[in-house]
Structure 1
Amino acid sequence: MYVQLSGDRDGRPVVLLHGGGVAGWMWRLTTDLLPAGLHLIVPDLPGHDRSSGEPYVSHDHTLTELITIIEKEADQPVAVAGFSLGAQLAILLATQRPDLVDRVAVVSAQAIPTRAAGLTLGLLGATAPLAKYEWFAKLQAKQLFIPASLKDDYLRTSALISKRSLVAAVGENIRFTAPPEWAGFPGTALILAGERERGFMRSSARSLSDALPGSELEIVSGCGHGIPLQRPDWFAKRLRDWLST
């Protein structure tokens, strides 16, 4: 798995986990506005962009690799912020290895399984080849709130992702529920969802917050499924404030 490291190696370690169909570059708008003293650990998840040579197999498989990376690169517990697919992985990291994670920001995580998931995946498999076409990727970029400055990164990532990785990642995403251990996570948890996301996404955020006493829930006004890309200045400030408390 490709990992981009930046900032101060001795600083507060922060792991940023991107969503499905994008890659570590989605955090560029955020990291440019974060304090210089942080130690930033930003992987491209399996199947995505610079890690496209390794297929996405499962959340569990990816989690094992992420744990290895954190153990190697961080000398103290990390803060993890994840978006969408990455937010689900952030939850799993926090629940399975609370010794490695002392705070977690969960941004737009689906935690209520999709009905008729098999049908959804069948349709996805049939349309997956379209991701290779630039015209289709441009339409998707608009839906995902990809700004002009990151559009080339998105088009490259979209062209590289395989049907196998796409179906595996989406399958894990739409079947996800938080493990029972989430209720016992001892660290700090921030849960965000967009005001304009689909209802089950807002319900997912509320269910995650209800399950973890002491967690903080915020529904972000004016945002759909793309908070860090739609409102990068607001998100970076929210993350800075969250990291400093």
Structure 2
Amino acid sequence: MYIRETGNADGPVLLLVHGGGVAGWMWKAQIDNFGARFRVLVPDLPGHDHSRDVPFTTSAAVVAELAALLKRLPAGTDVTVVGFSLGAQLALELAASHPELVTRVVVTSALTGGIPLPSLSHGLVRLTAPLARQTWFAKLQAKSLYIPDDLLDDYLRTSKNLPVESLVALTRENADFRTPPAWPAFPGAALLLAGAKEPRSLREGMRRLDQEHPRSELIIHENAGHGLPLRYPEWFNTRVEDWIRADLT
């Protein structure tokens, strides 16, 4: 799995985990904002962009690889894991299953209760996957995700090159994901972010995450849909930065 490393090599670590169908480039505004103070690690998940030749199989396999990455850091390294959508599910699982590696976690727009009729959904994904290679369709998808104009070419490249089998696998994993049983025992702090215009099931799941964790803070952006870090990057960066600073003091 491709990992981009940038920012302040001597700073605390910020691991940014993107959502399905995009790639590490989605964090451009966050890299620009946090790079002076943080050592920023940005993977392209299997099947995506620079990792397109690595098949996406299961979320568990990705979490294991991310954990192996963090285990290579010096003992005691301060690590904040930030995830969006599918990446937020991975961040949740990483924090819950490897609490010794994660100091704190930012969970943005994670679906935690599954979706109805998952087998039908997987079939539709397989049938419609060729559309993602059509520029007109990809542009419609980009608009729904709030992809800014300066990142549109990155999205079109990623979308056109995402293998069908990886797309089906990540869709299955996203639909089947449930909150890890060990989540309430994660000892670190948790910041939970979502948009008020996201699906009700997602918002309810985020509220349950907040209720289940003793050190969590839930913030809902009243105008945001599914794409909060891309649509409102300054708002997102400010909330994350202020929260990390408060946790460090």
* C-alpha deviation, 1:77, in angstroms: 3.7
**Aligned partners of 2:229 and 2:236 also within 8 Å:** yes
Match of 2:199 in 1: 198
Greater mean alpha carbon deviation, residues 28-37 or residues 123-132: 28-37
Normalization by structure 2: what TM-score?
0.96
Match of 2:123 in 1: 122
User: For residue 48 of structure 1, what is the amino acid of its counterpart?
Assistant: H
Size of the aligned set, in residue pairs, is: 245
SS at match of 2:25: helix
User: For residue 193 of structure 2, what is the amino acid of its counterpart?
Assistant: L
Q: Distance in 2 between matches of 1:74 and 1:49?
A: 29
**Structure 1 ranges of 4+ moved more than 3 A:** none
Match of 2:215 in 1: 214
Which blocks of at least 5 consecutive residues in structure 1 are unaligned?
Answer: none
Distance 1:91 1:25, change over 3 A: same
Normalization by structure 1: what TM-score?
0.97
Which blocks of at least 5 consecutive residues in structure 2 are unaligned?
Answer: none
User: For residue 28 of structure 2, what is the amino acid of its counterpart?
Assistant: R
> Which structure 2 residues correspond to residues 67-106 of structure 1 after superposition, within 5 A?
67-73=67-73, 75=75, 76-106=77-107
User: For residue 206 of structure 1, what is the amino acid of its counterpart?
Assistant: R
* C-alpha deviation, 1:64, in angstroms: 1.1
Match of 1:52 in 2: 52
User: For residue 26 of structure 1, what is the amino acid of its counterpart?
Assistant: M
> Which structure 2 residues correspond to residues 1-245 of structure 1 after superposition, within 5 A?
1-34=1-34, 36-73=36-73, 75=75, 76-245=77-246
CA RMSD between the two structures: 1.0
SS at match of 1:101: coil
SS at match of 1:225: coil
**Aligned partners of 1:19 and 1:85 also within 8 Å:** yes
1:65-118 CA distances to partner (integer Å, 9 max, x unpaired)? Answer: 111112224551411000000000000110111100010000000001101100
SS at match of 1:217: strand
**Aligned partners of 1:77 and 1:99 also within 8 Å:** no
Q: Distance in 2 between matches of 1:103 and 1:79?
A: 5
**Aligned partners of 2:8 and 2:35 also within 8 Å:** no
Q: Distance in 1 between matches of 2:168 and 2:35?
A: 36
User: For residue 11 of structure 1, what is the amino acid of its counterpart?
Assistant: G
